[in-house]
Chains A and B, each alone.
Chain A
Amino acid sequence: DAGVIQSPRHEVTEMGQEVTLRCKPISGHDYLFWYRQTMMRGLELLIYFNNNVPIDDSGMPEDRFSAKMPNASFSTLKIQPSEPRDSAVYFCASSNSDRVETQYFGPGTRLLVL
């Protein structure tokens, strides 16, 4: 079975450019999470969705970040405009309501903003 799929796996961009990260959760999972991981701050929850509805976006750092989940099998995290301090690994994870605490992570997107 396919796990959580993220694309791209690596992204290098210049400051000011728009960045879009994509995630396909595990089929049948109704929770989707976006995390950011850096050496300094560790793994931070940015936002999570339940049944495609954003439940908690208190971790989204600022208005430059936005996330959408148009359907159960796809979500995007967009940064516009990007800044060097956004450089991090961005993980998407999914789980189902029967065991919401067991999150399955995707391989991550390594973002470098120059």
Chain B
Amino acid sequence: RKEVEQDPGPFNVPEGATVAFNCTYSNSASQSFFWYRQDCRKEPKLLMSVYSSGNEDGRFTAQLNRASQYISLLIRDSKLSDSATYLCVVILLPTSGTYKYIFGTGTRLKVLA
């Protein structure tokens, strides 16, 4: 089983729709969680951090469920410009004491006019 798993999609949604992605992680040593966005043939860029209490940034809401070991990203009122691949990132601190950075393979979103 992969340490971080995402549904690859693509998720095809109409403009204005609400869409949600989940990302599951397997290691309970996971400490920090993030969503990155990657446009086609571009580099990944940090979208937002994910906190236990949930956090919101405009149309984007991220949540963490430690009990079930998943994080989620909700996009409301989706825009054409939201079309991209969304990568979840888990940082874990195993017993070795060295931080491990693990990226999911990404979920592709296409917002259709």
Contact = CB atoms under 8 A, between A and B. Distances in A.
Interface stretch (B13-21, B58-66, B75-83, B102-110): B102-110
Nearest to A103: B46
A47 to B, nearest CB: 11
A48 B104 contact: no
A106 B42 CA distance: 9
Nearest to B43: A105
Contact of B44 (A43, A55, A56): A43
Interface in A85-114: 91, 100-103, 105-108
Interface string B42-78: 1111100100000000000000000000000000000
Given A42-B104, A56-B100, A101-B49, A91 B43 contact: yes
A45 B100 CA distance: 9
A interface, how many residues as a size bin? Answer: 10 to 19
Contact of A33 (B98, B101, B104): B101
B105 A41 contact: yes
A78 B10 CA distance: 34
B32 interface: yes
A57 to B, nearest CB: 10
Contacts of B87: 42-43
Contacts of A45: 100-103
B98 A43 contact: no
A101 B102 contact: no
A100 B105 CA distance: 21
B25 interface: no
Contact of A48 (B89, B101, B105): B101
B75 to A, nearest CB: 21
